Amino acid sequence: DQQVKQNSPSLSVQEGRISILNCDYTNSMFDYFLWYKKYPAEGPTFLISISSIKDKNEDGRFTVFLNKSAKHLSLHIVPSQPGDSAVYFCAANAAQGGSEKLVFGKGTKLTVNP
């Protein structure tokens, strides 16, 4: 049951460059999407979210883009910093459909090289 897919298990970028993390979903009932960042031995930390009524949400260096027709979202980090190195999880929720659960992707490990 892979309703949320992160097809790249890892990504490596240079400090100062853009990091683009991708996420695809299959469930058209999803209407709220979140990105979480996770360091080893810690819990997921909320980064940024987007509602399905929007196509972009920006918070500082982080921007999430949503393409509903393609069922695709992406997280852009500009400029990337070594402290951004972590596993990034995409998650989705069908709030308007009455579900509270978050469905997670498998995660993408981002490494930002100095």
Partner 1 sequence: EPEVTQTPSHQVTQMGQEVILRCVPISNHLYFYWYRQILGQKVEFLVSFYNNEISEKSEIFDDQFSVERPDGSNFTLKIRSTKLEDSAMYFCASSEDGLAGLVQETQYFGPGTRLLVL
Restricting to residues 6-65, name those near partner 1 by CB under 8 A: 31-32, 34, 36, 41-46, 49, 51
Q: Is 103 in the site for partner 1 (CB under 8 A)?
A: yes
Least spacing, CB of residue 83 vs partner 1, in Å: 18
Nearest to 78 by CA among 58, 54, 96: 58
- For every residue of 40-60, DSSP letters joined together read TTS--EEEEEEETT-SEEEET
Q: Judging by DSSP bridges, how do beta strands 56-59 and 86-93 pair with one another? A: unpaired
Which amino acid is present at 114?
Answer: P
The verdict on 99 binding partner 1 (CB under 8 A) reads yes
Give the residues lining the site for partner 1 (CB under 8 A): 31-32, 34, 36, 41-46, 49, 51, 89, 91, 93, 95-96, 98-107
